[in-house]
Amino acid sequence: MSLVLTLVAQRDTTTLDAATIALARECMESTHPHTVLSPEEAVDLPCNADAASRLPALLDALAGKAVDAVLTHQAARRKLLLVSDMDSTIVDNETLDDLATHAGIGEKIAAITARSMNGELDFATALKERVALLKGLPDSLLEKAWQDVTLNEGARTLVQTMRANGAYTALVSGGFTFFTSRVAELCGFQTNHANTLLAEQGFLTGRTGHPILGPDTKLELLTTLAQQHRLAPEQTLAIGDGANDLPMLKAAGLGLAFFAKPIVRQAITAQINHTSLRTALFAQGYAASHFVGE
């Protein structure tokens, strides 16, 4: 029993019933009793070491159900470092796109964002192109865009619960410190890292500070924080949705693709496609009764 399958149902639309658990048990060839993490929402099902090869068949069997299935190792399940992306992960927004919408150029910038997040454009180039389109706009638009920002379900609970259990938490974004600093404060992240959007005399310059924070920087942050806190790679958790998150997702002990772009779903096995960030806690073996911050 070296692996654990965590099943989580989208609690607003369905329940995790006995038939679904039995289906998972059959697909994964598990004979072990399951552990309820949240009644009718989440369970842990111990599996044998060769269960990973059976996961694709289970995911196919679950198609059409609002249920996520995440397979993890029993060893070092509870992570002691969280590094999370912000846009479309911790928040239900692409903050640069929202800023552009208030400037009246939303569709133009959103198209570049989509290509970048799908891995079709180099991140730094895409960021420069988008920011250049903001030149001359009042920086007061940042505050207007902030009013649109909404935390995703479970974001604060994820951070608070991990911190209460000794983990260090970091928010990292290819977006801007104006937003990450505020989101970090709302959720309780201990540190935040992002790009700086430059302004002069109340107007955006169309430039960012340097160096530009991109995929390599996200990976470097994960590695550096792990070293600083004397953690092995398997003790780390990374969460993200876009192509610029791939390096850190692949390097983390558990890399979770959260409602991710196709290029990310193709590369990362552990995925949250139906449920909330609460699943990142269930996947670490936390019972809902032990969640903090709800």
**Known catalytic residues?**
85, 87
Closest by alpha carbon to 183, among 156, 217, 212? 156
Before 39, cis peptide (omega within 30)?
A: no
**Pick from 97, 8, 85, 1: which is nearest to 50 by CA?**
1
Cα diameter, the chain: 67
Dihedral, CA atoms, 252, 65, 31, 5, nearest 10 degrees? 10
Specify the pairing of strand 203-208 against strand 254-258.
unpaired
Question: How deeply is 189 buried, as exposed, middle or buried, from its count of CB atoms within 10 A (0-12, 13-18, 19+)?
Answer: buried
